[in-house]
């Protein structure tokens, strides 16, 4: 049995942070949104990262299945990406005139992403999902946007719901929320809002939090693509989270259809801060006419990193590699769970898997198991999909399964009845 | 008759703010089930309440047009709230939610339509109880420096807030949206070692339970009475407190997320 980790330095630093930073660590990396249950089971700050590992400030090493919530796709500090970034940094990064490396990156994306005729760069996923929705509205002169429940498209007001802090009813009045995979609802909604829907925005499959991930039903995407085409509605795929973990040509390509616009961020440059909106020709003039920019959006280093990242992902056939690693992990985790009498659900595409122990009706066994894994060096999180990276080795997977087994045994001993 | 002056304002900042629209109907349900309902906690917690009630036994029904119909039953030094007004000794009828809310604020005086012979209870013991409740819920009171008073005040406030959450989730437009995203189950609230409360959710409708069942689907707990008070008063932010470990949550976290959104609207109504 491994000695469970404790985190005195993390606790100390969190208290320091809470004095000067709202909520200490905000957003998805923080203990509240990150569902650190209990908070004592999780590290709150890292000291360094390499490959598929990160180390916390108490000196513990983790096999990291969150990958910074997606950006780490090749492994932290990938040498090829770092070399390309360093070379560009020597030449210049944030400069009055942009570098032509921006054009190189756009050309590479257009060559790589099946549905792309152009690429527009920003910094975060939210920047490009917002641009996509604005573009759809500008192009169609319509207001309404169709979402699928369980979505996450960023943090701008239009992405949030009426009951979120700081959101006005007016911000979301044109949002229509539908259930994923419910084709009747799609038909009814388009009929009831004829000529009013500017766009449908969707992740390639339902990988929302708190519930098992759900792949598209047979023919669902093709029917939705046709419905959008028939009604003059723009189809936006938010590939920020799943992008390049399913298919380098885009997750729309993976599911056999073409989006009108597709949003990338996270894995685009292995952690360098750049996002991209790619789209079809008919929308290019609309995007060209929009006033939309940011102080750091044309910085050159992330473009160079992105080029190196995509080229390496191509060389590795990265999605296939990640899906294979994820598939092996999935099988072995399920076997380990079964050996201890746990019904572990592993849903979604294996390179982007979601975990849930289904023995109880309240997820508390699951939360206990996750906590015991983290305390022993496997960084899973409770209610978010996980990410595989290319640096993850077979030995890492073996170690993960060993730790998972130990965690299962601890929870089983605690709850022999479940 | 003046039962309650304006209920003391809850400080802002304990939870995040949202759309500020409120409505009289939701407020009437809060005033019935959380504020007047708070008398149940007062009688359970504050020894002075028992002294006021003595051996008196009386029930007061509140019938609000297009709003709540419920009865406060005082017997054996305790108070219980039941739905409906058919059996009440005294019946107060209100032509609108607005008028009922004005009564709570001490700006409207209803005339009993039943139980005139018991009006002395209404004007005497009941009035004293509502004054006492108001004192316990007042956040600026010097008495809060007294640990015992602060504890009792916080426990009563805890019950008022949880009860208000149920009404906001059921009647407020935005609260109902949050409730529409809560799956069925039981959510437990606890001040460790001091108090527990639970809300049942069924078909997106919230009900305050008399006791906490063994099987719950999620929980939110405060480490101690001071942590709870600091959050209620807005001295500590709930999200920060999760990081610090003074607030804990578990189970179906989406239930807690949505309850927190509803909870953030309590201050809009109880200002």
B207 and B261 in contact (C-beta within 8 Å)?
Answer: no
pLDDT band with cut points at 50, 70 and 90 for residue B138: confident
* % of chain B with per-residue pLDDT over 90: 82
Contact B218 A31 (CB under 8 A): no
Residues of B with Cβ-Cβ distance to A22 under 8 angstroms: 237, 240
DSSP state of A246: S
Among candidates B17, B185, B239 on the partner chain, residue whose Cβ is nearest the Cβ of A166 = B17
| Residues β-bridged to residue B114 | B91
Residues of B with Cβ-Cβ distance to A25 under 8 angstroms: 243
Residues of A with Cβ-Cβ distance to B262 under 8 angstroms: 163
Q: In what helix (H) or strand (E) does residue A281 lie, and over which residues does it extend?
A: none
Contact B240 A22 (CB under 8 A): yes
> Which of these ranges, B125-134, B164-173, B174-183, B229-238, has the smallest mean pLDDT?
B229-238
pTM of the model: 0.93
DSSP state of B177: H
Which of A7, A13, A15, A32 to probe by mutation at the B interface, max B CB count within 10 Å?
A32
Q: How far apart are CA A268 and CA A278, in angstroms?
A: 12
Residues 31-70 of A with CB under 8 A from B: 31-32, 35-40, 44
Question: What is the predicted pLDDT for the residue at B13?
Answer: 42
The class that CATH gives domain A8-76+318-414 is alpha beta
Structure ipTM = 0.92
Longest Cα–Cα distance in chain A: 66
> Which of these ranges, A304-313, A384-393, B4-13, B103-112, has the smallest mean pLDDT?
B4-13
CA angle centred on A285, ends A281 and A289, rounded to 5°? 150
Q: Residue B271 above 90 pLDDT? A: no
Q: Residue B19 above 70 pLDDT? A: no
User: B49: phi > 0 → left, psi -120 to 50 → alpha, else beta; which?
Assistant: alpha
In chain B, which residue's Cα lies nearest the Cα of A361?
Answer: B217
Q: What distance in Å separates residue A339's CA from the closest CA in chain B?
A: 24
Contact A163 B18 (CB under 8 A): yes
In chain B, which residue's Cα lies nearest the Cα of A208?
Answer: B254
pLDDT band with cut points at 50, 70 and 90 for residue B270: confident
Contact B242 A26 (CB under 8 A): no
DSSP state of B80: E
Domain ranges of chain B: 166-269
Contact B243 A24 (CB under 8 A): yes
Q: pLDDT below 70 — which residues of chain A? A: none
Question: What is the predicted pLDDT for the residue at B233?
Answer: 87
Contact A166 B16 (CB under 8 A): yes
CATH superfamily of B166-269: SCP2 sterol-binding domain (3.30.1050.10)
Give the architecture-level CATH label for domain A79-316. 3-Layer(aba) Sandwich (3.40)
Q: How far apart are CA A150 and CA A128, in angstroms?
A: 19
Integer CA distances (angstroms), B52 to B7, B112, B150, in order? 21, 22, 20
Question: Cβ of B147: how many Cβ atoms within 10 Å?
Answer: 10
Domain ranges of chain A: 8-76+318-414, 79-316
Among candidates A23, A167, A383 on the partner chain, residue whose Cβ is nearest the Cβ of B243 = A23
Contact A168 B19 (CB under 8 A): yes
Q: What distance in Å separates residue B168's CA from the closest CA in chain A?
A: 12
Question: What is the predicted pLDDT for the residue at B234?
Answer: 85
Question: What is the predicted pLDDT for the residue at B16?
Answer: 38
Question: What is the predicted pLDDT for the residue at A210?
Answer: 87
Q: Does A362 touch chain B (CB under 8 A)?
A: yes
Instruction: Please count the residue pairs, one from chain A and one from chain B, whose beta carbons lie less than 8 angstroms apart.
Output: 89
The candidate with the shortest Cα–Cα distance to A328, out of A377, A372, A393, A382, is A393
Residues of A with Cβ-Cβ distance to B237 under 8 angstroms: 22-23
């Amino acid at each position: 049995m491994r000695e469970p980790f404790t985190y005195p330095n993390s606790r100390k630093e969190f208290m320091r942070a809470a004095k000067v930073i709202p909520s200490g660590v905000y957003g998805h990396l923080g203990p509240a949104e990150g569902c650190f249950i209990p908070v004592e089971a999780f590290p709150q700050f890292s000291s360094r990262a390499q490959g598929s590992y990160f180390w916390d400030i108490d000196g513990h090493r983790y096999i990291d299945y969150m990958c910074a919530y997606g950006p780490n796709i090749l492994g932290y500090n990938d040498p090829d990406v770092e070399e390309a970034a360093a070379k560009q940094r020597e030449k210049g990064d944030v400069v009055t005139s942009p570098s032509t490396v921006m054009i190189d990156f756009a050309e590479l994306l257009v060559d790589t992403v099946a549905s792309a005729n152009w690429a527009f760069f920003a910094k975060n996923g939210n920047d490009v999902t917002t641009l996509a929705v604005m573009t759809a509205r500008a192009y169609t002169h319509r207001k309404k946007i169709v979402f699928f429940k369980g979505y996450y498209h960023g943090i701008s007001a239009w992405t949030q719901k009426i009951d979120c802090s700081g959101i006005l009813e007016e911000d979301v009045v044109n949002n229509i929320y539908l259930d994923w995979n419910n084709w009747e609802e799609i038909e009814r909604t388009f009929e009831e809002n004829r000529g009013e829907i500017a766009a449908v925005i969707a992740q390639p499959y339902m990988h929302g939090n708190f519930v098992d991930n759900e792949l598209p039903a047979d023919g669902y995407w093709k029917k939705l693509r046709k419905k959008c085409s028939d009604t003059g509605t723009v189809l936006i795929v938010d590939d920020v989270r799943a992008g390049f973990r399913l298919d380098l040509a885009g997750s729309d390509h993976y599911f056999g259809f073409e989006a009108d616009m597709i949003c990338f961020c996270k894995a685009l440059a292995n952690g360098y801060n750049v996002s991209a909106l790619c789209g079809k020709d008919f929308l290019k003039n609309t995007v060209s006419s929009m006033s939309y920019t940011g102080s750091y959006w044309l910085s050159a280093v992330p473009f160079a990193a992105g080029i190196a990242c995509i080229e390496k992902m191509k060389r590795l056939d990265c999605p296939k590699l990640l899906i294979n690693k994820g598939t092996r992990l999935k099988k072995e985790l399920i076997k380990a769970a079964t050996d201890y009498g746990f019904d572990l659900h592993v849903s979604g595409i294996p390179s982007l898997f979601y975990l849930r122990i289904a023995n109880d009706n309240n997820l508390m066994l699951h939360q206990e198991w996750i906590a015991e894994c983290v305390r022993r060096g496997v960084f899973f999180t409770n209610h978010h999909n996980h990410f595989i990276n290319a640096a993850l080795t077979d030995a890492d997977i073996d170690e993960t399964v060993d730790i998972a087994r130990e965690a299962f045994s601890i929870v089983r001993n605690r709850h022999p009845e479940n | 008759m003046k039962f309650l002056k304006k209920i003391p304002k809850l400080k802002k900042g304990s939870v995040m703010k949202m759309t500020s629209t409120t409505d009289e109907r939701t407020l009437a349900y809060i005033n019935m089930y959380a504020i007047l309902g708070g008398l149940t906690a007062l009688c359970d917690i504050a020894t002075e309440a028992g002294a006021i009630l003595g051996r008196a036994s009386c029930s007061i029904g509140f019938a609000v047009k297009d709003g709540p119909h419920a009865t406060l039953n005082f017997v054996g030094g305790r108070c219980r709230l039941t739905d409906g007004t058919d059996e009440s000794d005294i019946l107060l009828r209100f032509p609108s939610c607005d008028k009922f809310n004005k009564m709570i604020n001490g700006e409207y005086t209803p005339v009993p339509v039943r139980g005139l012979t018991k009006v002395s209870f209404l004007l005497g013991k009941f009035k004293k109880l509502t004054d006492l409740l108001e004192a316990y819920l007042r956040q600026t009171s010097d008495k809060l420096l007294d640990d015992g008073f602060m504890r009792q005040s916080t426990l009563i406030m805890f019950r008022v807030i949880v009860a208000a959450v149920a009404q906001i989730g059921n009647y407020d437009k935005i609260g109902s949206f949050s409730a529409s995203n809560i799956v069925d189950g039981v959510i437990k609230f606890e001040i460790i070692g001091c108090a527990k409360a639970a809300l049942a959710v069924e078909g997106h409708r919230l009900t305050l339970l008399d006791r906490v069942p063994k099987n719950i689907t999620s929980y939110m707990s405060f480490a101690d009475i001071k942590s709870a008070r600091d959050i209620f008063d807005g001295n500590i932010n709930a999200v920060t407190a999760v990081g610090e470990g003074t607030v804990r949550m578990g189970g179906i976290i989406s239930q807690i997320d949505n309850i927190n959104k509803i909870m953030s609207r309590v201050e809009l109504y109880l200002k």
